[in-house]
Amino acid sequence: MSEHLFLRACRREPVPRTPVWMMRQAGRYLPAYRATRAKAGSFLTLCRTPELACEVTLQPIDEYGFDAAILFSDILITLPPMGIDVTFPEAGPKIPSPVRTSAEIAQLGIPDPNDDLRYVMDAIRAIKVGLSGRVPLIGFAGAPLTMMTYAVEGGGSKDYAKTKAMLYGAPKDAHALLDKLAKTCTSYLEAQVTAGVDCVQIFDSWGGIVSPGDFREFPLRYAKRVIEGLRGSKTWMRGEGVPIIYFVNGCAPYLDDYASSGADVLGVDWRVGIDDVRRRVGDGVALQGNLDPGALFASPSEIRSRVADILARAGADGHIFNLGHGVLPETNPEHVRAMVTAVRELSAKA
């Protein structure tokens, strides 16, 4: 497995062509996913039923031959075992009782992932069997700052006013909450590695809402703590230790600090040139990205030309092709195929 294209690219080893996968590749754009989702009845049932989570994880691998599978789950599922209820209506996740006071933060627990989130570990084991070595499996978790935004806002937000009221107005509370979220994230990812994932990605989807100084103080600091915790743990080392991907959506303002996260791979959203990112972060990390998910609305020939542009900017090695964020539900599945084909053909070394 360690010789697989995707894992070699994570380690910046030379590869015969650029590997490709897609954030949210097991998702609503895919007819097979929608069928399984309907069978499950609810989104949470899909997440919590290992055989169904396994089924949707494998669908895009069978359909497109992506070079990595990613565990089907949701970053928010670690919140209920911490003591924060979450519901998943169609309009997006809701936390009916958001966490806003130091007393509420003090009451939060750190889940035991092998107990409270056992269904995730069962899903990982089932997926590994289902994949039978075809491609590596990526596990994931939400980064502390991103998890904080959901816990504090009670859902998505336009301006993150409540999160910022805590970060800047009650920084002790913010650090106490981030500390618990970091501990939860670390032990959850450790358990995923023990269960069999070959790589982990830490999603800081809302890490990009702060100034560069606050990025160092909050999202980066706690992402680093998770990454250091993982590397220092005994259970971490499977072979040479599985690669760690850190993804900040909206990373452009933080490029001077991004590489200091300690991750093996940095995720790059679509709003910045991946060549610019390479110049600023140096050659010590692999990069993953960065086609605009919305660019899949373009014609297949336009998609091919955008893929070519990104491949040229990223260079042949140390690059994993991906979208710059999750694929949009409205995407035409045949346009996904056009993207995958273009990556395979255009990145192949003679």
**For the purposes of burial, counting CB atoms within 10 Å of the CB of 296, is it exposed (0-12), middle (13-18) or buried (19 or more)?**
buried
148 binds its own copies (CB under 8 A): no
How far is residue 17's CA from residue 347's CA, in Å, rounded to a whole number? 5
CB 8 to its own copies: min, Å: 28
When the beta carbons of 110 and 340 are compared against its own copies, the nearer one is 340
Other C-beta atoms closer than 10 Å to the C-beta of 276 total 13
Which of 112, 330, 334, 345: binder of its own copies (CB under 8 A)? 330
Pairing mode of beta strands 199-204, 265-267: unpaired
Comparing CA positions, the residue from 282, 276, 344, 334 lying closest to residue 307 is: 344
153 binds its own copies (CB under 8 A): no
Catalytic residue numbers?
Answer: 24, 28, 37, 74, 150
214 binds its own copies (CB under 8 A): yes
CB 257 to its own copies: min, Å: 11
250 binds its own copies (CB under 8 A): yes
253 binds its own copies (CB under 8 A): yes
210 binds its own copies (CB under 8 A): yes
Span of 9-17, 101-109, 123-131, 153-161 interacting with its own copies by CB under 8 A: 153-161
Which of 90, 159, 239, 282: binder of its own copies (CB under 8 A)? 159
Total number of residues shown for the chain: 350
- Do residues 52 and 98 touch, judged by C-beta distance below 8 A? no
How far is residue 217's CA from residue 227's CA, in Å, rounded to a whole number? 16
| DSSP annotation of 322 | E
For its own copies (CB under 8 A), the number of binding residues is 40
How far is residue 131's CA from residue 54's CA, in Å, rounded to a whole number? 9
Across 153-175, b (16+ Cβ under 10 Å) vs e yields bbbebeebebbbebbeebeebbb
Span of 49-57, 127-135, 190-198, 327-335 interacting with its own copies by CB under 8 A: 327-335
- Do residues 20 and 323 touch, judged by C-beta distance below 8 A? no
Q: Give the CA-trace dihedral at 160, 164, 167, 168, to 10 degrees.
A: 170
Span of 13-21, 40-48, 127-135, 291-299 interacting with its own copies by CB under 8 A: 291-299
Which of 165, 176, 308, 316: binder of its own copies (CB under 8 A)? 165
Which of 6, 66, 160, 222: binder of its own copies (CB under 8 A)? 160
Which of 89, 133, 213, 239: binder of its own copies (CB under 8 A)? 213
φ, ψ of residue 203 in degrees (nearest 5): -90, 110
308 binds its own copies (CB under 8 A): no
Which of 106, 129, 161, 312: binder of its own copies (CB under 8 A)? 161
Span of 118-126, 145-153, 186-194, 202-210 interacting with its own copies by CB under 8 A: 202-210
Half-sphere exposure of 160 (CA within 13 A, CB side): 18
302 binds its own copies (CB under 8 A): yes
298 binds its own copies (CB under 8 A): yes
156 binds its own copies (CB under 8 A): yes
DSSP, collapsed to helix, strand or coil, labels residue 206 as coil
CB 265 to its own copies: min, Å: 20
When the beta carbons of 319 and 325 are compared against its own copies, the nearer one is 325
Alpha-carbon distance values, 282 to 115, 255, 290, 318 (Å): 41, 10, 17, 11
| DSSP annotation of 299 | -
- Do residues 336 and 21 touch, judged by C-beta distance below 8 A? no
Which of 9, 61, 272, 342: binder of its own copies (CB under 8 A)? 272
CB 344 to its own copies: min, Å: 22
For its own copies, the binding residues (CB under 8 A) are 156, 158-161, 163-165, 167-169, 208-214, 250, 252-253, 270-273, 276, 292-295, 297-299, 302, 309, 324-325, 328-330
